[in-house]
């Protein structure tokens, strides 16, 4: 286990670890969507994205996703830390488990559809932060700048 992660936490009986992995995925994709929407709003509002990033990264809105993936989005760097195709598989597993438990996860279901759209555009091998491209497509606003 130590080869797979820094923190090892026993969470319960057999199967509990898998459920916690699904819980983690809800938080990952939810944070990713929130980050993308925030950067989109800042871009549309004419805010310098690097300054906005610096202003909020250490506050209550900060997260691993924001700290690590917002700079990539600002630089329009879609290299994967985790590919859209793999993220989509995990989100599908989340929604299947939620369905079996009778628990609605409307935000996660929406994100599943965004990732499905990106896959249909041939972007499945890009990083999961490529979720931004779905929002750019909806809004007509392109976020960040490619570095020369």
- What tens digit of pLDDT does each residue of 40-92 get? 999 999 999 999 999 999 999 999 999 999 999 999 999 999 999 999 999 99
Predicted pLDDT at 118: 95
Q: Flag whether pLDDT at 119 surpasses 50.
A: yes
Question: Which residue among 6, 21, 57, 89 is the active-site one?
Answer: 21
Predicted pLDDT at 5: 65
Mean of pLDDT over the chain: 92
Predicted pLDDT at 1: 55
Q: Catalytic residue at 57? A: no
CATH architecture of 16-139: Orthogonal Bundle (1.10)
Dist. CA 45–CA 140, nearest whole Å = 13
Predicted pLDDT at 145: 74
Least Cα distance to 110 among 90, 125, 91 occurs for: 91
Least Cα distance to 39 among 148, 139, 147, 126 occurs for: 139
More confident of the two residues 1 and 46: 46
Residue bearing tokens 């250490």: 58
When pLDDT is cut at 50, 70 and 90, the band that residue 128 belongs to is very high
Residue percentage of the chain with pLDDT more than 90: 84
């Amino acid at each position: 286990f130590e080869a797979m992660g820094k923190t090892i936490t026993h969470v319960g009986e057999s199967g509990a670890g898998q459920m916690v992995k699904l819980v983690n995925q809800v938080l990952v994709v939810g944070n990713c969507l929130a980050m993308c929407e925030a950067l989109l709003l800042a871009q549309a509002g004419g805010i310098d994205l690097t300054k906005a990033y610096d202003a909020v990264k250490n506050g209550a809105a900060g997260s691993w996703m924001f700290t690590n993936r917002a700079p990539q989005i600002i630089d329009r760097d879609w290299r994967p830390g985790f590919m859209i195709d793999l993220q989509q598989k995990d989100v599908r597993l989340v929604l299947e488990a939620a369905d079996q438990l009778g628990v609605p996860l409307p935000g996660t279901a929406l994100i599943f559809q965004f990732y499905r759209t990106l896959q249909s555009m041939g972007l499945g091998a890009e990083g999961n932060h490529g979720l931004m491209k779905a929002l750019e497509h909806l809004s007509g606003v392109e976020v960040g700048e490619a570095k020369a």
